[in-house]
Structure 1
């Protein structure tokens, strides 16, 4: 059976999702929704139209799963629950500290509508979360540690772009080499957030806000830098570097969307805990949005199947069996992958 997908938001993630749908024979793009003028948005899938976001509720009987490709920081906290009142939905909400409250709000809306909502389905939270869970279940006497990067964080870059007088921005998350070496040796001691990562930001100021007064330009840059470095949940707990560059340099040097990271778990077994084991899971991504979109596509399949099974409410990757996310039967899985 074909699952009809609606895409809400057509930025980098939405475009990546369109590519992902094309690679899954059981998924079909039904419509794309945008807050821009639909006439200005071109997609590559033939015979599929682009509509304004306000029209989405007219498609309740035409879409099986609505995948939200909007801002995790500014849109999903309100949008996911709203759309879960009418659709099966999937999002990639990535503010770890706020996942519990996001889950509760979405769960109420989805249950009231008998819909299934999968939240936080990216690679972290998401795939990395599963690896942390499996490792901790297998080696309960141990410690886990996660590194992100080197790569561009879509959510953090978007958060910077929402700051007044910022025209564009890219934010790189960079693991500190000394911390990686320490963890690979089996030591997890004294590794707080600040010890593990550096956040490096490249920012383009809106030139319409600049003037010839050099002192005023410096004041504006200082204000923006302070807002970045003090932003809760994003930068305030990290060592952060901010560089102001031209739009030309940003396009030339920072147009790619690479990312990746590592999950480590070190645990012990044996009568006297004499045997040590280190689990390492890593990702190296050429395109963060395209990889994240591929995860969203897989969990859209799961949301549809779960809803057909009578399951409603909010779900995370922890709640969904692996067989639900792949386009194979149980028999095929047992004979080809198990």
Structure 2
């Protein structure tokens, strides 16, 4: 059976981990890496055995593209690649209506071009949404609380870095309990930037404005960096008419590694779906796994 040819779009924290995960997957291979022109020479020297290009059009054969880029760039990039008839997988992490509306827009493109898109394929909203669904299957009535952290939020860190006057940034998510969080944003200021202006801009950013946010100036952000993260999900609900069903799911992970691994498994699943746009919750779990159907069932059921 031919291996699935996957391109890595972007080579930051997630892109590097996606590259590693693909190399560890027996049924997949790296079709190439797509980066901005300014990174080409350096990466071509570092990875001489793999095609490194500045456009996916320069790769010979791509079945699926892993969009390892900031979430705000995903809608446009996914649409362009789906138009080429290439499947896409992203880890879009802006929850709620933003994700739903993007999936709806991409669905019409994917169906027209015979391609497949899977959006939000990280650990949250990706695999965490599957666990939330399992909780509701077991206890249809009740409340699920999702508590993130403590740990580095990649999406929030990217947004903080984009703030005018910020040289480097790190955004930590700290759980307060019952699904509430606060953000600790450590910033290294650029030049003569004013801290009060930077603080105001970060707190007004849609990524931060809904949560309690503390912006803290530091001399060296790199000394604080740690890609660890986690989640604690709790549900208390009702099964049938029986109350007090309590469930708990806890995760402690290295954020980009697990995000990338889920994306690689979603790339495999994308090859098994009908044309259209999906979120991970909609796809049969068995489609994410390599191997024979009956062997998987025998091992896991």
TM-score of the pair, normalised by structure 1: 0.84
Aligned pair in 2 of structure 1 residues 21, 169: CA closer, same or farther (>3 Å)? same
State the alpha-carbon separation in 2 of the partners of residues 163 and 104 from structure 1.
30
State the alpha-carbon separation in 2 of the partners of residues 88 and 42 from structure 1.
25
Aligned pair in 2 of structure 1 residues 24, 103: CA closer, same or farther (>3 Å)? same
> CA shift at 1:84, angstroms?
1.3
Name which one, 1 or 2, has greater alpha-carbon Rg: 1
> CA shift at 1:270, angstroms?
5.9
> CA shift at 1:138, angstroms?
2.0
Aligned pair in 2 of structure 1 residues 32, 125: CA closer, same or farther (>3 Å)? same
> CA shift at 1:42, angstroms?
5.1
> CA shift at 1:114, angstroms?
0.5
Contact 2:110/2:116, CA 8 A, preserved across alignment: yes
> CA shift at 1:77, angstroms?
2.3
Which of residues 40, 50, 53 in structure 2 aligns to 1:51?
53
Match in the other structure for 1:183: none
Which of residues 268, 284, 289 in structure 1 aligns to 2:252?
284
Contact 1:70/1:76, CA 8 A, preserved across alignment: yes
Contact 2:140/2:239, CA 8 A, preserved across alignment: no
> CA shift at 1:40, angstroms?
1.9
Are 2:296 and 1:329 aligned? no
Match in the other structure for 1:269: 239
> CA shift at 1:137, angstroms?
2.1
Match in the other structure for 1:148: 148
Which of residues 204, 212, 233 in structure 2 aligns to 1:239?
212
Write 1 or 2 for the structure with the bigger share of strand. 2
| Root-mean-square deviation (Å) | 1.6
Structure 1 gap ranges (5+): 180-190, 211-216
Aligned pair in 2 of structure 1 residues 270, 119: CA closer, same or farther (>3 Å)? closer
> CA shift at 1:305, angstroms?
2.3
**How many residue pairs align between the two structures?**
297
Match in the other structure for 2:87: 88
State the alpha-carbon separation in 2 of the partners of residues 27 and 114 from structure 1.
21
Q: Deviations over 1:296-315 (max 9, x none)?
A: 00000001122xxxx10101
> Secondary structure at the residue paired with 1:62?
coil
Match in the other structure for 2:15: 14
> Secondary structure at the residue paired with 1:145?
strand
> Secondary structure at the residue paired with 2:246?
strand
State the alpha-carbon separation in 2 of the partners of residues 106 and 119 from structure 1.
10
Aligned pair in 2 of structure 1 residues 112, 62: CA closer, same or farther (>3 Å)? same
Contact 1:82/1:109, CA 8 A, preserved across alignment: no
State the alpha-carbon separation in 2 of the partners of residues 46 and 241 from structure 1.
43
Aligned pair in 2 of structure 1 residues 240, 47: CA closer, same or farther (>3 Å)? same
Q: Deviations over 1:122-148 (max 9, x none)?
A: 111101111111111221121111011
Structure 2 gap ranges (5+): none
Contact 1:85/1:109, CA 8 A, preserved across alignment: yes
